[in-house]
Amino acid sequence: MLIKISAWFFAMLMPFVTVLNGISIDIPGAENAVEIVYDFANEKAGSAAGTVTLEASVNGGYEIYWGTDDSEKLSVDLDGYTVYYSELAEIDVKNGKGSADIHEFTAIPENAETVLAYKAGVKVGTYEIPESKLADNGKELYSFGILSDVHFNRYNMSLTGDDACLTFPNALNFLEKFDVSVVGISGDISADGERNAFEKYNSIASNYDFPVYTCTGNHDVNDDFTLKNWQELINSGVYGEKKNDGVKNVADNGLDFVYAPDSANGDVFIFLSQYQWDYNRPESRILDDEQLDWLEAQLEKYKDTTVYLFFHTFLNNPVEGEEPKMGEGNLLNNKGHHYDLPFTEGCPDEVRFEEMMDKYENVVFFNGHSHWAYDMQELNPNLNIADYDGEYATMIHVSSVSSPRRTQANLDDTTEHYMRSSEGMVATVYEDCIVFTACEFLKGELLSYATYVVER
């Protein structure tokens, strides 16, 4: 009963939160007080990459938003309530000028036609996006949701005694509004692989018309894990004799599988589970040889289509000579603080997995694990998405649905944001591109600074 009440509560609260997010004040004459200059890095329609510069007579902090053709903050209508896009960037103006670099993968959302500057809630500048840069992605083929690090039984600040009993159904309710055909999760459903966590997951995930599939994470294969519990309660319709439409291949280990529904237009989803919690030793392994053989066979089979690979643990930066901790999925601040459980470099499974990510550039690899909130991109531009100059598969970090983490430049620890933040993504697939839009589920907000476009 508590789970149902919680989901209802957030569903009712979301419209009020999103309305408040859209409130701004119009003051006569203020709208043209700031000049906005947008120097785009390329000529691709729908690409926001470049530099935004503000010239203003008043120094201080400003926020940049996407706007509509009538210079209102950009929003989307989801089943009767309005969801706004967050700020694209924050700019500190000093001596009359300030600028912000926009990440190379950042997308201009469809229906965005202006860029707006705000100071203290007042609109102070408007820039009209050139027609050649407007997003025109064509017909939507399908959409899917992306989550990670649900962690039933790990965080307990809510009325239910288990935060995930609130955050997980709330995220699924939000994604349902986008008519997703499937929700994929990059693992860590539980705290320690306990059956009770899997039961909670099953009781919620089974309430939706779309399948909710996941791989294991390091927490799932911890002390209390049994394959029997996983197969009974997780990924319904995958492991039994009667399989859901679209389940094409289940590995002999009873964990890994391929999902290729008709709705995916020929694209495939692969869920690859690590089999143990093992990091930072010379002999560490989180994938065995049989799994890697199976994965390579699937990637070769589907090399001519888009493959969405869900696996929990991220690679270190694969570029020789670069700081390993500043790759996708991680960050390193000036105090040396970082997440210390990446795929262990140089171990046989890591070497072979990286080789596959190098060879099969048609792969989009979703990973979680570190919980870094999307706005931590400010400490590492590669944190949320990277393909390392097109030399590797596209790798995408998935923040935690239950406890995003943040740190600061001069902080030598991490702040957990359970019950104050809940993040994930929705992917919208078109013929020529995929748009990944980060979501803040508790606020009911789309994150402009973490909305990315990838060519297919």
Question: Cα dihedral angle (168, 172, 174, 178), rounded to 10 degrees?
Answer: 160
Q: What is the pLDDT of residue 29?
A: 55
39, β-bridge pairs: 51
| Cα angle, residue 206 at apex, residues 204 and 208 outer, rounded to 5° | 95
140-421 — its CATH code? 3.60.21.10
**Topology annotation, domain 13-133:** Immunoglobulin-like (2.60.40)
**What is the tally of helices (H) and strands (E) in the chain?**
6, 24
> What is the separation of C-alpha 391 from the centre of its chain, rounded to a whole number of angstroms?
21
* Residue in the block written with tokens 């997003």: 135
Do 274 and 193 form a contact (C-beta atoms < 8 A)?
A: no
User: How would you write 160-174 as a 3-class SS string?
Assistant: CCCCHHHHHHHHHHH
User: Which residues share a beta bridge with 116?
Assistant: 65, 126
List C-alpha distances in Å: 129 to 125, 182, 370.
Answer: 13, 34, 36
CA distances from 204 to 11, 165, 207, 273 (A): 15, 8, 6, 21
- The bridge status of strand 81-85 relative to strand 445-455 is parallel
Tell me which DSSP letter residue 374 carries: G
Taking the CA atoms of the chain, what radius of gyration do you get in angstroms? 22
Packing angle between helix 2-21 and helix 195-205, nearest 10 degrees? Answer: 60
Sites in the chain below the pLDDT cut of 50: 1-20
pLDDT tens string 265-313: 999 999 999 999 999 999 999 999 999 999 999 999 999 999 999 999 9
Strand order in the sheet with 34-40: 34-40, 50-56, 97-102
Q: CA angle, corner 404, sides to 212 and 343, nearest 5?
A: 75
Where in the chain are the domains? 13-133, 140-421
User: Which of 428, 430, 450 minimizes the C-alpha distance to 438?
Assistant: 450
* Fold agreement (13-133, 140-421): no
Strand partners, 335: none
Provide the 8-state DSSP code for 339: -
